[in-house]
Amino acid sequence: MGGYIIKRVASAIVTIFAVATITFFLMFLVPGGPFLAEKAPSPQTLEALEKKYGLDQPVTVQYINYMKRLVLKLDLGTSLKKRGQEVNDIIRVRFPVSAKLGGIAVLTAVCLGIPLGSIAALNREKWLDRTIMAIATVGNAIPSFVVATVLMYVCGVVLRILPTLGLTSPAHYVLPVISLSFYPTAYIARLTRTSMLDVLGQDYMRTAKAKGLSRFKSLFKHALRNAVLPVVTYLGPLLAFIMTGNFVVERIFTIPGLGSEFISSITDRDYPLIMGTTIFLATLLIVLNVIVDIAYKIIDPRIKLK
Amino acid sequence: MSDKRNPLSFQLDVSDFLPADESEKQSLVVMRESVSFWKDGFRRLRKNKVAMVSLAVIIFIMIFAFILPAFYPYSYEQQIRGSENLGIMQYSKEELARKAAGEKVFPHFLGTDSLGRDITVRLMMGSRISLLVGLVASAIILVIGSTYGAISGYFGGKIDMIMMRIVDIIYTVPDILIIILFSVTLKYPLKDLAANVKGFAWIETVGVGLISIFIVFSLLYWVGMARIVRGQILSLKEQDYVTAAKALGASHGRIIRKHLLTNAIGPLIVTTTLQIPSAIFTESFLSFIGLGVSAPMPSLGSMASQALNGIRSYPHRLMAPAIMISIIILSFNLLGDGLRDAFDPKLKD
């Protein structure tokens, strides 16, 4: 177990390092640097700016400086468009908003998807199963921006029952959370149904029935416990999905989170901010994935430790 | 030949050894033609109603996206003066006047946008982009992934280990972030390449945005394909026909191409088909956040994103691309599931 954890952590560190390097060098492909926006500054200003941000030095020196700051001080640099604002500060302010929204969405997807999938499996080939699976199949085909915009129009503009802008009250969370968790809920429901059907056909379920265990007990103690294992493996992709979903959902509902900040930094071509956010989110995802993987190995001892 | 033969005699009846006549030969011919892999698969696919309906929808959308724009009286970038912001089936004053004069005016089925561009034809072009991205990206992923996976699985040992470590690392990289990053930055060097290097002018014709999407997808998404192909090859290479081919002196390339990949064709088809909707998904996401193909070329994602501002007055502008993209993804998903059931029953979950 210890060996596995060390291996996983080491490979995660390599990946994070690779992402940081790719990010840095990709930003170098952009000609003229980050100051060449709509209105070009005068050559003198440009030179002064480049000097200030160390852009006049050779690539290798800049890379080493950048990495040094990143590793030793965890410093992601300064935003170019928002004068003087540290990327770290922007993330510190914006990220909790996104994390809260994303966390609620993850919980919703898991808490809705597993019961729905189990109900479908227990009513196999009946109308309830067919309805749930039809909805899940359609749900798996709708991008989150479509869910979000349509919900916004129907609930916010036509029916006017829910607020659509910002995140100031609990009611504000309803639409963004539905938009974010729609696809993963559908996916988890399908996943749970398949594995539940598999588990229900196992010998130990028959044994449980034969030894007189109540249906409730056999379902919760034996079936569900084994059936949710594949859902644990989906948690990694789920987190990634919620994160990207956050980008568009925050933009649509004008939520002041890190996602909408990231999108506007792309439109603004604010390169340090793009870089910083990418590295931060990538690190977060990679770390979360390592935790999920290790947790999976602990939960299911049958999985061989590589 | 005589009938006087003693019934207990051991003498052979010569008539048993006469050449068979036609009717006897006919009775021995196998009545049914042998069922090839393709025939068997397609027979199963044809029985799957959901998959067949999805296939029909896909073909319909392809006609809508690739053929109809050529015959459509408006073009996707044409800004019709005076007919900005028309609603569904509305005409502008000018067009009404022309109609009154007896001229035939082609209706704007879905109205026009704020620049006076016909939304129906833009929807067609947007679907074209989505389909193009899905099909081309999947084809590239198929080529790279199957080559890589086949080499890794076939040679095994150290080569396999190193190649798979690379795959593992790419697999753990958060793909969407890197894709966004590439899309932000790749446009500049590509534009540079098209403008300054001879022989690369075609990049401009295809569109820088589209090319960078292809590059980005093929850089990251092939790893899943590579893993699946490698798994297939690992089990296939132990088969006797591979040993036989080796004994006959076939080269490694020939064995991989003719024996291993052809026998893994089922999973290859299924994985490629299921790759299409996920590529379309990602493309629509990218164009929604303002990356992807460059204006005036429309994409379903960017159309939905632009419609967001006028959602109160012109909801149909949002609904049209939203419904279109969902239908495209849904049909490809269902077709992929059908193909999996038909060609690769082992993969069925």
CB contact under 8 A, A286 and B172: yes
- Per residue, the 3-state secondary structure of B102-167, as one string, reads CCCCCCCCCCECCCCCEHHHHHHHHHHHHHHHHHHHHHHHHHHHHHHHHHHHHHCHHHHHHHHHHH
CB contact under 8 A, B178 and A244: no
Greater model confidence, B228 or B94:
B228
Residue A132 confidence (pLDDT): 93
Q: What is the mean pLDDT of residues B37-59?
A: 90
- The chain-wide mean pLDDT, for chain B, equals 85
Q: What is the mean pLDDT of residues B37-51?
A: 87
Q: What is the pLDDT of residues B149-187, one digit of tens each?
A: 999 999 988 999 999 888 888 887 888 888 888 888 887
Work out the pLDDT band at B25, boundaries 50, 70, 90. confident
pLDDT above 80 (res B202): no
Q: Tell me the percentage of chain B whose pLDDT exceeds 90.
A: 29
Work out the pLDDT band at B346, boundaries 50, 70, 90. low
Which of B136-151 are b and which e, b meaning 16 or more Cβ less than 10 Å from the residue's Cβ? Answer: bbbebbbebbbbbbbb
What residues contact A27, with CB distance under 8 A and at least 6 apart? Answer: A271, A274, A275, B185
Q: Which of B176, B318, B326 sits opposite A240 (nearest CB)?
A: B176
- The chain-wide mean pLDDT, for chain A, equals 85
Residue A120 confidence (pLDDT): 94
Residue A76 confidence (pLDDT): 80
Residue B138 confidence (pLDDT): 93
Q: Which of A22, A31, A143 sits opposite B188 (nearest CB)?
A: A31
Q: CA A206, A208, A212, A213 torsion: positive or negative?
A: negative
Of A193, A266, A258, the C-alpha closest to B285 is: A266
pLDDT above 70 (res B10): yes
Distance of CA A171 to the CA centre of its chain: 22
Interface test with A, best of B61, B177, B191 (most A CBs within 10 A): B177
Q: What is the pLDDT of residues A104-158, one digit of tens each?
A: 999 999 999 999 999 999 998 899 999 999 999 999 899 888 999 888 888 888 8
H/E stretch holding A293 reads: helix A271-299
Residue B176 confidence (pLDDT): 83
Q: What is the ipTM of this complex?
A: 0.83
pLDDT above 70 (res B259): yes
B178 and chain A: CB distance < 8 Å anywhere? yes
CA distance linking residue B307 with residue B313, whole number of Å: 10
Residue B345 confidence (pLDDT): 62
Interface test with B, best of A135, A140, A146, A158 (most B CBs within 10 A): A146
What residues contact A189, with CB distance under 8 A and at least 6 apart? Answer: A112, A113, A114, A116, A117, A120, A132, A133, A136
Interface list for B 309-348 with A (CB within 8 A):
311-312, 315, 318-319, 322, 325-326, 329-330, 333-334
SS3 A86: strand
Q: What is the pLDDT of residues B76-129, one digit of tens each?
A: 888 877 777 777 777 777 778 888 887 777 778 887 887 788 888 999 999 999
Residue A37 confidence (pLDDT): 52
Residue B139 confidence (pLDDT): 93
Do the beta carbons of residue B76 and residue B125 sit within 8 Å? Answer: yes
Do the beta carbons of residue A152 and residue A164 sit within 8 Å? Answer: yes
Interface list for B 260-279 with A (CB within 8 A):
277
B57 and chain A: CB distance < 8 Å anywhere? no
Residue A304 confidence (pLDDT): 57
CA distance linking residue B346 with residue B340, whole number of Å: 9
Residues of chain A with pLDDT under 70: 30-41, 53, 55, 303-306
Interface list for B 181-240 with A (CB within 8 A):
181-182, 184-186, 188-189, 192
Distance from CA of A144 to the nearest CA of B (A): 9
Residue whose tokens read 């992402």: A19
Residue A306 confidence (pLDDT): 41
Q: Is B25 exposed, middle or buried (0-12, 13-18, 19+ CB in 10 A)?
A: exposed
Token pair belonging to A200: 């229900």
